[in-house]
């Protein structure tokens, strides 16, 4: 199904009184502290800038890890793309400044409640390995803290207020960061 087909289907659902029937209000968002792509971009730019000023390699000089880092980065991009396609097909919104229309439990959302953010973490790790840049790994810590407490905590509170038992049930089945289908326990 093409993205334009999904958009048309979602528009039809709204037009016939389906999901997102109620006009969004400014308070119908998670009110996150920072948009996650902006936080990721700032961490990546800061890591590269710091490495340009003061290089901090962390791998043995003879280790050709660029390909490994590139593979981790590509896998991270694939996870993010899969999550975005899944949430879009469910007629919900990806940007944190737009209302969430539904709880999505398919695709990567079966294994983690936050596949996009998990992909962002893996993306920084992949870049750090590919470019032998310890700064990127060090900046992963503040980035993870900002995402966890400035974004995820607010999103979880918002989803619980908006969807109640539906979200609580999902939260009890799927971990915040990662779980395998046989070990679905809330994190």
Task: Tell me the three-class secondary structure of 67-115, residue by residue.
Answer: HHHHHHHHHHHHHHHHHHHHHHHCCCCCCCCCCCCCCCCCHHHHCCCCH
Would you call 72 exposed, middle or buried from its count of C-beta atoms within 10 A (0-12, 13-18, 19+)?
Answer: buried
Angle at 114 (CA atoms; ends 138, 103), nearest 5 degrees: 165
Q: In the prediction, which pLDDT does 152 show?
A: 97
Query: Is the separation of the CB atoms in 76 and 122 below 8 Å?
Result: yes
Q: In the prediction, which pLDDT does 27 show?
A: 77
Q: In the prediction, which pLDDT does 62 show?
A: 83
User: In order along the chain (187 residues), what is the average pLDDT of each group of 10 residues?
Assistant: 53 45 65 96 98 95 88 98 98 94 96 97 98 97 97 96 96 85 48
């Amino acid at each position: 199904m093409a993205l334009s087909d999904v958009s048309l289907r979602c528009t039809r659902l709204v037009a016939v009184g389906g999901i997102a029937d109620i006009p969004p209000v400014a308070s119908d968002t998670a009110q996150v502290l920072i948009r996650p792509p902006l936080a990721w971009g700032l961490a990546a730019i800061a890591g590269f800038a710091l490495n340009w000023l003061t290089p901090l390699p962390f791998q043995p000089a003879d280790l050709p890890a660029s390909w490994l880092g590139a593979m981790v980065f590509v896998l991270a991009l694939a996870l993010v793309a899969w999550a975005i396609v899944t949430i879009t097909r469910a007629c919900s919104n990806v940007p944190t400044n737009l209302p969430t229309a539904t709880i999505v439990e398919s695709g990567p959302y079966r294994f983690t409640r936050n596949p996009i953010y998990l992909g962002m973490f893996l993306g920084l790790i992949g870049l750090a390995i590919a470019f032998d840049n310890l700064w990127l790994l060090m900046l992963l810590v503040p980035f993870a803290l900002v995402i966890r407490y400035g974004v995820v905590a607010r999103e979880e509170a918002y989803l619980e207020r908006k969807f109640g038992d539906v979200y609580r049930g999902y939260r009890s089945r799927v971990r915040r960061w990662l779980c395998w289908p046989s070990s679905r326990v809330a994190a």
